[in-house]
A = this chain, B = another copy of it.
């Protein structure tokens, strides 16, 4: 559905309306989050989804939590090639400048390496502040299970097939609450260099930390207007010749990408005073319910931080989708390069 509020309401009035909604939302909901000491029942989780605020859930036990040492991962995955994102700065799918200062939305260079190489790269980079590049396994394409797993399990090959016995393909209390199977289940392996720039997803997200720590900075969908979304030309990181250096390579024929201009929402002054960021740190064994449309910026600590996430399609019926469209505001998004 095309959102063009401007056909109806002018951009400056849309902005005023979005400010009004975000203020009302904050007056009612405040800036706190709930922590559950054990997983909810399906009906309890359905209530949580209806409220659509982040909840930390303790005690969601899965085999990966106890098993996934470096040795175990090496012995299970052996020589299996793994697609890893390589960037000069740890920021994949983020805004970056080319040498001339022009801004792009840049996707990572992807390299297929073994788990041995990946663990080595993460450890070395963490200890030696290797500034040449950062590795982050963040392929997020259903790299453990994709939706095909539920229709025809044999047609869902995975680089991590050997780890499937440690990861449930769906979470019973979520699947029953939402009445559907996940759309994708992903593994994430990185270190403190890997950062995920602030964005929102059209999914209900269950995010579990297996090793290390993840630090989330969250904004409700109502505060999206604080993030200055702009249009950026698309690019990917590439290597020239035999050099290991990565450069920004503009994509020909790719449409522009709408993305937040806020590079790091944790830096003082990055957000207007009307924003109320929520800071949540997940330790190993903690699970976050990250509701559809919530903006998230994610950092991690520890030499090898491993996480899993289950994405479930969000409910489109009812008011929720209309509302998320309204909160994304006007269709007239200016170019990010005009501002600089």
How far, in whole Å, are A19 and B17 apart by their CA atoms in the complex? 15
**Contact residue range for chain A?**
35 or more
Evaluate contact between A51 and B16: CB separation under 8 angstroms: no
A313 at the interface (CB under 8 A from B): no
A5 at the interface (CB under 8 A from B): yes
A1, A8, A178, A325: which has the most chain B beta carbons within 10 Å?
Answer: A8
Evaluate contact between B43 and A177: CB separation under 8 angstroms: yes
A71 at the interface (CB under 8 A from B): no
Evaluate contact between B25 and A20: CB separation under 8 angstroms: no
Evaluate contact between A24 and B1: CB separation under 8 angstroms: yes
A316 at the interface (CB under 8 A from B): yes
Evaluate contact between A53 and B317: CB separation under 8 angstroms: yes
Q: Mark A1-31, 1 if CB is under 8 A from B, else 0.
A: 1000100110001001101110011011100
Q: Is the interface of A mostly helix, strand, loop or mixed?
A: helix
**Additional A-B contact list (12), CB under 8 Å, known A44-B179, A50-B50:** A5-B20, A8-B16, A8-B19, A8-B20, A9-B9, A9-B17, A28-B317, A28-B322, A50-B320, A51-B315, A221-B319, A222-B319
Q: Which residue of B lies closest to A44 (CB)?
A: B179
A321 at the interface (CB under 8 A from B): yes
A323 at the interface (CB under 8 A from B): yes
Set B8, B29, B42, B221: member contacting A317, Cβ < 8 A: B29
Contact of A1 with B27 at beta-carbon distance under 8 Å, contacts A43-B46, A47-B178, A323-B323 already known? yes
